[in-house]
Amino acid sequence: MNTYNFTSSAKSFLIKGFIGGLILFAIGLATKWNDTSHSLNTQIIANVYTVVIYSFWVGVAAMFFLSATTLALGGWHIQIQKILLAIGGTLPFSVGLMIIFFAVFSHDLFHWTHASLYIEGSPDFDEVLASKHDYLNPTRFWAFAIVLLGTTLALYFMWKKNLTDMDENPSVKLFDKSRAIAAASIVIIAMGINTFGTWDWTMSIQPHWYSTMFTWYTLASASATMFCILYITVIYLKRNDYLPRVNENHWHNVGIYIFAASIFWTYLWFSQYMLIWYANIPEETIYFTKRMNGYSEIFYLNLILNFVIPFLTLIKRDAKRNYWTPIIIGSIIIVGHYFDFFTMIVPELVEGGGGFNLIGIGTFISISSIFVYISLNTLSKYTDLESSTHPYIRESYENQI
Amino acid sequence: MSTKKYLVGLFDDDHTLLHAIENAVEQNMEMSDVYTPFPVHGIEDKMKMRRTKLHTAGFIFGLTGTITAFSLMAFANAVNYPINFGGKPVFALPAWIPIMFEFTVLFSGVGMVLTFYYLNNLYPGKKPEIIDPRLTDDMFAITFDMTKDSSNKSNLSEFLKKEGAVEVFEKEF
């Protein structure tokens, strides 16, 4: 059994998840229908955009991790590399959704797209934004978006083609090619997609504010989620009798990565907060003011879910090897990092609190069900689930830590 | 100082060694230690060694460091001599966290090194106990402790020879 069979019960479970999410979304809409304190339109856009951006970065993190381990001549992940590729399989869909958002809702999402801000003498004239107009303008935004999103997709399809070719007729030449793709991916993701992507698509929602740590912070957040998804998928497949030669050493490795990514995320989150707190410059503190007024519960919950809980529970070796702890903690971390992306985007658009309600919960459940469906569907297309013809497969079989 | 006596079996192949270890564990022979010139995968599991508790010691040392840094800064900055730095509160927790982190790393690092030395019976000026110089080159060794009880010496040396040891000898320190 070396091909994943996407069973109809798994499909119907995800479809039920999607419908359940839609029902929650509808209940949320109904309760907020007569509430005029926030525009319903903005709330829906902000919540859906949060989940889309979240899944986009999770896909990018999967590609980044696959590239990094391949480039470092890692061997242990070979049996589970198809899962990484399947997590990246959501990229075409999230990229499509993002382009729709940029094309249709850019005025709702991005304050700086309004032309009147840059006309001197108009009541909306903003001196700070006018000084940034050389960078923050729609032409540059679209050029960067097309290049960056196009490169993301190109890298994904190159990876997919390479690994599928390797299944059919393996050769050292193909393996060398995969290392070349890995090298290119790392540089392009780190210095191109991640850097400019986070500036354009998340940070520019608050155009007056900037942080040099925002880029890594986003990728660290997405990486922690990606490792949790990887862990849960590995255990799911293992319990359904796939991946016969994956054992506790492999998921221990993934568990270590969950722990490491959570600590790394905390380091960046805290550094960003501490520097801004210490310098106390009004244009920087505005970011945290908006998040602590009305969203303070989510803001602090974020730190508990993503740092305190994983740190205290996953620190022991046995906790990473018995798989129930990481599955429970992993689910908590996935929700926790949803809150992280939520605090990046929603408090700016739905100011003063009240942005977190059933609309957001429903969107998260239904859209993530779609993305899990797409991922598993991509996974079921691979004929060789454990990449048994890869030159490094022996190292993966005999992985021991 | 009391002398220590070991029965040493030298092997020239790691697979033979692993096999010998398996058989020794099966026959409930209590090995003193196994020496290899390079890390051999799976040897700890085969020897049924209990896992080291060095990490727990490291965690406790780290916690000590965190508490030391926190209590010193809290006492000095907030209790004993409060000074207004740029309008920040005297109990400025975010600013202390980097120092608390550094103390944690320092204490757990130094503490773990010292614990490691203590557990391995190493200290400055210790006379090295070298079983055989070839153990750092191309030989593997299984040792049995003969200090207290050497009654089953002939049994053990026979076992070692049968398992393919190229040399069996006794060593005293």
Q: How far apart are the C-alpha atoms of A34 and A318, rounded to whole Å?
A: 52
For residue B91, list chain A residues with Cβ-Cβ distance below 8 A.
Answer: none
Closest CA–CA distance from residue A270 to any residue of chain B (Å): 8
Does B34 lie in the same domain as B72? no
- The answer on pLDDT for A120 being more than 90 is no
Question: Given A278, A317, A398, which is nearest B95 (Cβ)?
Answer: A278
- For residue B78, what are its two tokens? 């907030």
pLDDT-derived band of residue A165, with 50, 70 and 90 as boundaries? very high
For residue A280, list chain B residues with Cβ-Cβ distance below 8 A.
Answer: 86-87
For residue B41, list chain A residues with Cβ-Cβ distance below 8 A.
Answer: 398, 400
Q: What is the pLDDT of residue B2?
A: 67
Across-strand partners of B168? B9
Inter-chain contacts counted by CB atoms under 8 A, chains A and B:
19
Residue B126 lies in a domain: no
B88 at the A interface (CB within 8 A)?
Answer: yes
Residues whose CB is less than 8 angstroms from the CB of residue B72 and which lie 6 or more positions away in sequence, other chains included: none
**Looking up tokens 């021991």, which residue turns up?**
A400
- Among B97, B99, B108, which would you mutate to test the A interface (most chain A Cβ atoms within 10 Å of its Cβ)? B97
Pairing relationship of beta strands B140-145 and B167-172 according to DSSP bridges: unpaired
Among B119, B145, B162, identify where a domain stops.
Answer: B119
Q: What is the pLDDT of residue A1?
A: 63
- Among A252, A269, A273, A277, which would you mutate to test the B interface (most chain B Cβ atoms within 10 Å of its Cβ)? A277
Q: Is the CB of B59 less than 8 angstroms away from the CB of A315?
A: yes
Which stretches of chain A sit within 8 Å of chain B by CB? Answer: 270, 273-274, 277-278, 280, 315, 317, 398, 400
What are the pLDDT digits (tens) for A125-154? 888 898 999 999 999 999 999 999 999 999
For residue A278, list chain B residues with Cβ-Cβ distance below 8 A.
Answer: 88, 94-95
As a whole number, mean pLDDT of residues A91-97 equals 95
Q: What is the pLDDT of residue B130?
A: 85
As a whole number, mean pLDDT of residues A151-169 equals 93
pLDDT-derived band of residue A96, with 50, 70 and 90 as boundaries? very high
Residue B93 lies in a domain: yes
Q: Is the CB of B95 less than 8 angstroms away from the CB of A315?
A: no
* Nearest partner of A65 among A265, A276, A226, A306, judged by Cα: A226
Residue B128 lies in a domain: no
- For residue B70, what are its two tokens? 């926190």
% of residues, chain B, pLDDT over 90: 28
In which domain, by residue range, is B23 found? Answer: 5-52+133-172
Closest CA–CA distance from residue A233 to any residue of chain B (Å): 27
* Nearest partner of A225 among A55, A50, A21, A63, judged by Cα: A55
Q: How far apart are the C-alpha atoms of A332 and A344, rounded to whole Å?
A: 19
Does B113 lie in the same domain as B65? yes
Residue A259 DSSP one-character state? H
Residue B8 DSSP one-character state? E
For residue B95, list chain A residues with Cβ-Cβ distance below 8 A.
Answer: 274, 278
Q: What is the pLDDT of residue A121?
A: 85
Residues A356, A361, A362, A368, Cα dihedral to 10°? 130
For residue A274, list chain B residues with Cβ-Cβ distance below 8 A.
Answer: 94-95, 97-98
Closest CA–CA distance from residue A109 to any residue of chain B (Å): 32
Closest CA–CA distance from residue B93 to any residue of chain A (Å): 10
For residue A307, list chain B residues with Cβ-Cβ distance below 8 A.
Answer: none
Predicted complex ipTM exceeds 0.85: no
What DSSP element (H or E) covers A24?
A: helix A8-32
User: How many residues in chain B?
Assistant: 173
Pairing relationship of beta strands B167-172 and B33-35 according to DSSP bridges: unpaired
Q: What is the pLDDT of residue A368?
A: 94
Across-strand partners of B170? B7
Q: How far apart are the C-alpha atoms of A17 and B46, rounded to whole Å?
A: 47
Q: Search chain B and give the residue with CA nearest A398.
A: B41
Residue B127 lies in a domain: no
Does B113 lie in the same domain as B61? yes
Residue B90 lies in a domain: yes
Question: Given B42, B86, B94, which is nearest A273 (Cβ)?
Answer: B94
Sign of the dihedral through C-alpha A288, A291, A297, A298:
negative
Residue B22: which CATH number?
Answer: 3.30.70
Domains held by chain B: number: 2
pLDDT-derived band of residue A256, with 50, 70 and 90 as boundaries? very high
- Among A267, A278, A308, A395, which would you mutate to test the B interface (most chain B Cβ atoms within 10 Å of its Cβ)? A278
User: Higher pLDDT residue, A226 or A350?
Assistant: A226
Residue B68 lies in a domain: yes
Does B64 lie in the same domain as B112? yes
Answer yes or no: are the C-beta atoms of B171 and B147 closer than 8 Å.
no
- The answer on pLDDT for B125 being more than 80 is yes
Q: Is the CB of A280 less than 8 angstroms away from the CB of B55?
A: no
Q: Is the CB of A400 less than 8 angstroms away from the CB of B51?
A: no
Residue B26 lies in a domain: yes
Residue B124 lies in a domain: no
A208 — phi, psi (to 5°)?
A: -80, -20
For residue A398, list chain B residues with Cβ-Cβ distance below 8 A.
Answer: 41
For residue A312, list chain B residues with Cβ-Cβ distance below 8 A.
Answer: none
- For residue B56, what are its two tokens? 């727990």
* Nearest partner of A359 among A77, A76, A95, A43, judged by Cα: A43
Does B67 lie in the same domain as B45? no
Q: What's the gap between Cα A331 and its chain centre?
A: 14
Q: Is the CB of A274 less than 8 angstroms away from the CB of B98?
A: yes
Answer yes or no: are the C-beta atoms of A320 and A314 closer than 8 Å.
yes
Q: On the CB side of A22, how many CA atoms lie within 13 Å of its CA? A: 8
Q: Is B126 exposed, middle or buried (0-12, 13-18, 19+ CB in 10 A)?
A: exposed
* Nearest partner of A47 among A379, A360, A389, judged by Cα: A360
* Nearest partner of A260 among A212, A196, A311, judged by Cα: A311
Q: Is the CB of A270 less than 8 angstroms away from the CB of B97?
A: yes
As a whole number, mean pLDDT of residues A14-23 equals 95
Does B112 lie in the same domain as B66? yes
Q: How far apart are the C-alpha atoms of A48 and A29, rounded to whole Å?
A: 13
Q: What is the pLDDT of residue B127?
A: 84
- The answer on pLDDT for A341 being more than 90 is yes
pLDDT-derived band of residue B27, with 50, 70 and 90 as boundaries? confident
What DSSP element (H or E) covers A163?
A: helix A138-168
